[in-house]
Homo-oligomer: A and B are copies of this chain.
């Protein structure tokens, strides 16, 4: 299948116009080798490990959530060169779907909400809001931990949880929590919790379930969808950062 035809399908799944302004120049075909595609690899990040595995399984295209080059470059250092070499030698194009796939139907946030088992799902401009059977804060945090198979950090004064907002990746920002508050949310699940957010939003239960564990499922679920749609072999490559807690 022609790369340009694969791209058309990917743009239907995650329309580029959904991307945040800062992100618009970073998504799409970040390495365009104009090659034919028989096999596709999918992963969260285009790390050296992920590229090696993509090469081993014979992928012609690697689709990731995060892009290879986030801040535009004039210089290519050794670490970027190592990754590019694997891609160029194995003729693997790179494609990134980031904030556009966060928001897209059945994208990062929808998969995250499903994993946590939210009901009555409601789409906001950014994350997803839903309900669970009322439970204590600790019980809810424990449920998130098990659903996503990750450690969690949590804080806040809220004691009973039934309305929940989720946002995959780094979603602890004032403007997003403003939306949560307006919607009467009890708990907010995202990652990369910061001190100033803890201080400003102590009336909401804040659950940090790690960037990896809140976004990885959305990429994994992309695989069967792509196989169905394109009739190509699609394989997920998992690269867990293995964060430890003491």
Mark A residues whose CB is within 8 Å of B: 25-26, 28-34, 45, 47, 66-67, 69-70, 72-79, 81, 84-85, 88-89, 138, 141-142, 145, 151-155, 169-170, 191-196, 198-200, 210-212, 241-246
Question: Are A246 and B142 within 8 A (Cβ)?
Answer: yes
B30 engages A74 (CB within 8 Å): yes
In the complex, the answer to whether B244 meets A153 with C-beta atoms within 8 Å is yes
A89–B153 CA distance with the chains assembled, in angstroms: 37
Complex contact B141–A76 (CB within 8 A): no
- Complex CA gap A198/B29 in Å reads 24
Contacts of A154 in B (CB 8 A): 243-244, 246
In whole angstroms, how far apart are the Cα atoms of A90 and B199 in the complex? 22
Return the chain B residue nearest A35 by Cβ.
B78
Report the nearest B residue to A207, measured CB to CB.
Answer: B246
Q: Which among A72, A79, A145 has the highest number of chain B CB atoms within 10 Å?
A: A72
Would A75 and B212 be within 8 Å (CB), given that A138-B244, A196-B70 are in contact? no
